[in-house]
Structure 1
Amino acid sequence: MTVKLDMIGIVVEDMGKALGFYRALGFEIPETADREPHVEIAQEGVRIAFDTVEVARGVYGSWERPSGHRIELAFRCADASSVDALYRGIVERGYEGRREPWDAFWGQRYAIVADPDGNLISLFA
Structure 2
Amino acid sequence: MTIKLDMVGIVVANMREALDFYRLLGFQIAETHNDDMHVEIDQEGVRLAFDKLEMAKGIYGSWEEPTGHRIELAFRCESREALDQLYAKIVHKGYVGYKEPWDAFWGQRYAIVQDPDGNLISLFV
TM over 0.5: yes
Match of 1:84, as an amino acid? D
User: Aligned residue pairs: how many?
Assistant: 125
C-alpha displacement of 1:71? 1.1
TM-score (norm: length of structure 2): 0.98
C-alpha displacement of 1:32? 1.1
Q: Percent identity?
A: 68
Q: Which residue of 2 aligns with 1:56?
A: 56
**Distance in 2 separating the partners of 1:63 and 1:9:** 15
TM-score (norm: length of structure 1): 0.98
**Distance in 1 separating the partners of 2:120 and 2:5:** 20
**Distance in 2 separating the partners of 1:82 and 1:88:** 10
**Distance in 2 separating the partners of 1:40 and 1:59:** 17
Q: Deviations over 1:51-98 (max 9, x none)?
A: 011100111111111011121100001111111011011111111100
Q: Which residue of 1 aligns with 2:66?
A: 66
**Distance in 1 separating the partners of 2:13 and 2:64:** 12
Aligned alpha-carbon RMSD (Å): 0.6
**Distance in 2 separating the partners of 1:51 and 1:70:** 19
**Distance in 2 separating the partners of 1:49 and 1:58:** 16
Q: Where does structure 1 lack aligned partners over 5 or more consecutive residues?
A: none
Q: Which residue of 1 aligns with 2:30?
A: 30
**Distance in 2 separating the partners of 1:65 and 1:120:** 15
Q: Where does structure 2 lack aligned partners over 5 or more consecutive residues?
A: none
4+ residue segments displaced more than 6 Å: none
Q: Which residue of 2 aligns with 1:87?
A: 87
Q: Which residue of 2 aligns with 1:42?
A: 42
Secondary structure, in 3 states, of the residue corresponding to 1:42?
A: strand
**Distance in 1 separating the partners of 2:112 and 2:76:** 12
Answer yes or no: is 1:101 the counterpart of 2:101.
Answer: yes
